[in-house]
Amino acid sequence: MTERFFVLDGPGFLYRAYHALPFLSTSKGQPSHAVFGMSTMLWKLLREEGPDYFLVAWDPPGPTFREERFAAYKETRPAMPDDLRSQIPQVKALFEALRLPLVEVAGFEADDVLGSLVARTQELPLEVVIVTSDKDMLQLVGPRVRVLSPGPRGERIVLDEAAVKEKWGVAPAQIPGLLALMGDSIDNIPGVPGVGQKTAVRLIGQFGSLQRLYDNLTLVPGKLRETLAASRQQALLSRELATVHTAVPLPEDLSAFRRQEPDWDRLRALWSELEFHTLLRQLPEAAPAAATDDEPALASAEGLAGYLARVPAREPLAVDWVGQGGPPDPEVTALGLFHPAAGRARLVLDAVPDLGGRALVGHDLKPVVEWWLGRGAAPPAIEDTAVAAYLLNPARTNYRLEEVCAEITGEGPGLAAPGARAPWVWRLWERERTALEEAGLRALYEEIERPLVPVLAAMERHGIGVDPERLTEFSKELERSLEALTREIHTLAGGEFNLSSPKQLAVVLFEKLGLSPVRKTKTGYSTDADVLEQLALAHPLPAKLLEHRTLAKLKSTYADALPALVHPRTGRIHTSFNQLVAATGRLSSSAPNLQNIPIRTELGRRIRAAFVPEPGWRFVAADYSQIELRLLAHVSGEESLIEAFRRGEDIHRRTASEVFGVALEAVTPEQRDVAKTTNFSVIYGVTAFGLSRGLAISQKEAQEFLDRFFARHPKVRAWLERTVAEGRERGWVATLTGRRRWLPELRSGNPNLRGFAERMATNAPIQGTAADLIKIAMVRLHRELGARGLQSRMLLQVHDELLFEAPEAEVLPLEALAAEVMESAMTLSVPLRVDIKAGTDWAQV
């Protein structure tokens, strides 16, 4: 399960605590209400959320770079009250007692520390939760970043991307532009005079960003255009002030922020000194023990057998595992056990235990299964409450036991020691079984998601072979190419400059070469990829810069990074497959992400070529052909598409023939490309505007392509409209297997948010069914490989493709088995087809 990194806006939390309570003081007259409020909120947060990592960001003394840019920044804020200032030493002592690392960096606000931490974690398998009530922080929200804002009555308010759009009417990345227009009285950000939130939302929604607004100012009517034009520099400055900095230097090793047990003695002493008697009563008498009187430690086979004798033979055991996950050798040191008939116990794992054939009920059991496999033993049957919770609510951003229990049972285990939560697992599973049945999800759980857990565990343990020498040699080649490109760029620029410096690059492009700036950022004119692509039409230097950036990313992200991830014992790379992340049901890969390795370019294929099978073995890749279009044909019942697939036609050529009104054999490659883009635009709900950008044509032409497509395929349009209507009525859409995608935004009054949900409503049943299909195939193939005694093993799943490793003698049998199983995984109105290739490295397949 993905770990969570909590980052706390320390100053914001401090002021919130100060203003939330009336004045309190100790018997000696020391003000204490801010420390008490902070203690109460942190205690609740740690107990209910159970973060894996934690950082407190703090404002440093002295000015920051924002005051240097705008002297009046935060000038309207009153000075910190003396009774609050006197409590800061105790607040920092509280952080130390709770062992919560505090970070403050001279010249930067706490906001910038938070933003930089978010940026640092983007390539790591972590979810980030920003604890703050500051609207500025909403700009950092993303796929794995949420804001947790405790409500006025202590309720838990979580803001993800959809919630930000619902609340503010703009996407998270558009928040700085919004604040640049409407201003922020709290931070004394001026904004544009006379422009309020409603107008700012409308302008950002219409133009997409502040820069695009000013690039198209002639489209704004009358007086408002004049106001915006007169305040241009003030708006750009306001955006700079509102933008969170993301490059504050932080410790390289983020393990320093891993959560630790509080220093109970120190915490008790602090709260005693401040006379927080209600909080003192909540502290444990001592540090949690390994076992208590009602939780005997089972240190022998006889002790375990005695415990199991009290458990009915056919009933499972609830377990709470202790250890650290991560392939290929997760560290699982103990199991907390529970059954209503036998009570609690703690089993130390120094060898594979004999459980008498009993199944295990646990939360996130993949590491436990992997631990069993690592000892050469068949793992027990399992029921996984995290997987069940994922099916019941796939929109959650984490599935920690504490949160899932609180949601489903109404209460949770709090700060119970690892291994002591097995009774909660049992209670949770009892509720989930009923909920799965009522929601029609039992078959999806029992036939696809639950049996997938040991499949993924085995894949993670196998890992994939890599040749570090190939990567090292490729890195050297890239370095030589980068050096040559650098010389070319310097020649074109008429002198040397730092290619990594946006400021120096802007001077070269816009002053020395005289190119026209495209848009401005807080630090000057933008030199990002979009800008360089436009500038490349006028001068060769920007194209060389884009090429340099591409090579540099390949070198740093893959050629240099992957060798360091080779496991010292196995000599292989072991990625983690994440089953509980995507609401559509798709799997993801992390540490490293092997699903995003480039394949469309020759340089990208050089990276794949470094992945190799064992000597005497070969890779075999099996890839579903045009699976999403086949599913669209099936669910819509569109006869022309169904018949085209049954005849084995090139579906993109068929669409081109119909849309352009030409014979099948007369379709040109350009027409086929347009048809291909149009086909996938329909699946992903792309509008005429989006299609026009993808094809570099006018919006009118794009709309004509879509209109002709739907005229030829009326049942596709009918299915799309019906799916959206049903989703709006029910609040969810479903895949062919019954997997639900909840979309309450379909009823939103915000047109942008509703439009986004409508696109999700039509895509989720198709993409989700494709995910279900390949999971069915994975489960069946894993079972068949074992049943037939084959040595071949499944290594990777990359969306619609499976990658295997097989001895030479098993290549042909494996190809036949993969085709048989994958093409029969579902019965549809169109045939399923699988493209299969074998080779001696990943690039060859």
Q: Provide long-range contacts, Cβ within 8 A and 24+ apart, for 586-589.
A: 586/767, 586/768, 586/771, 586/799, 587/456, 587/771, 587/775, 587/797, 589/796, 589/798
pLDDT digits (tens, 9 = 90+) for 163-219: 888 888 888 989 999 999 999 888 889 999 989 988 998 898 888 889 889 988 888
pLDDT digits (tens, 9 = 90+) for 396-410: 878 888 889 888 887
pLDDT at 762: 95
CA gyration radius for the chain? 29
CB 230: neighbour CB atoms within 10 A? 12
Least confident of 249-253, 375-379, 790-794: 249-253
Does residue 292 register a pLDDT over 60?
no
pLDDT digits (tens, 9 = 90+) for 724-736: 999 999 999 999 9
Residue at token pair 């040109």: 668
Residue at token pair 């029969």: 824
Q: What is the mean pLDDT of residues 561-567?
A: 90
3-state secondary structure of 356: coil
Does residue 293 register a pLDDT over 50?
no
CATH hierarchy code of domain 297-464? 3.30.420.10
Under a CB-based contact definition with an 8 Å cutoff, are residues 499 and 548 in contact? yes
pLDDT at 388: 98
3-state secondary structure of 337: strand
Q: What is the mean pLDDT of residues 793-818?
A: 98
pLDDT at 151: 67
Q: At what angle do helices 699-712 and 714-730 cross, to 10 degrees?
A: 100
Helix H segments across 319-421? 366-374, 385-392, 401-408
SS3 breakdown of the chain: % helix, strand, coil, rounded to 5? 50, 15, 35
Handedness of CA 483, 488, 493, 494 (dihedral sign): positive
Instruction: Check for a shared fold between 297-464 and 631-769.
Output: no
pLDDT at 765: 97
pLDDT at 424: 92
3-state secondary structure of 500: coil
Confidence of residue 659 (pLDDT cuts 50, 70, 90): confident
Tell me what the pLDDT averaged over the chain comes to: 90
Q: For 4, phi and psi rounded to 5 degrees? A: -120, 135
Q: Which CATH class is domain 631-769?
A: mainly alpha
Does residue 324 register a pLDDT over 80?
no
pLDDT at 290: 37
- DSSP assignment, residue 332? E
CB 443: neighbour CB atoms within 10 A? 12
- The CA distance from 771 to 735, in Å, is 9
CATH fold for domain 3-257: Rossmann fold (3.40.50)
- The CA distance from 73 to 222, in Å, is 31
Least confident of 64-73, 196-205, 429-438, 562-571: 64-73
Under a CB-based contact definition with an 8 Å cutoff, are residues 710 and 717 in contact? yes
Residue at token pair 């499944």: 794
Does residue 415 register a pLDDT over 60?
no
**Residue boundaries of the structural domains of the chain:** 3-257, 297-464, 631-769
Strand segments, DSSP code E, in 643-757 are: 732-734, 740-742
Residue % of the chain over a pLDDT of 70: 97
Strand segments, DSSP code E, in 462-569 are: 464-465, 520-521, 524-525
pLDDT at 288: 33
Does residue 286 register a pLDDT over 50?
no
Confidence of residue 722 (pLDDT cuts 50, 70, 90): very high
3-state secondary structure of 275: coil
Q: Provide long-range contacts, Cβ within 8 A and 24+ apart, for 130-135.
A: 130/7, 130/9, 131/6, 131/7, 131/8, 131/9, 131/13, 131/45, 132/8, 132/9, 132/12, 132/13, 133/9, 133/12, 133/16, 134/9, 134/12, 135/168, 135/175, 135/179, 135/184
Direct distance between the N- and C-terminal alpha carbons of the chain, in angstroms, rounded to an integer = 31
3-state secondary structure of 321: strand
- The CA distance from 279 to 244, in Å, is 36
CB 648: neighbour CB atoms within 10 A? 9
pLDDT digits (tens, 9 = 90+) for 503-535: 889 999 999 999 999 887 766 788 888 889 889
Under a CB-based contact definition with an 8 Å cutoff, are residues 3 and 52 in contact? yes
Residue 24 or residue 394, greater confidence: 394
Under a CB-based contact definition with an 8 Å cutoff, are residues 147 and 132 in contact? yes
Both tokens of 189, joined, read: 């950000």
524-535 residues labelled b (16+ CB within 10 A) or e (exposed): ebbbeeebbeeb
Name the residue among 627, 645, 632, 765 with its Cα closest to residue 710: 632
CA trace torsion 194, 197, 202, 207 (10° rounding): 80
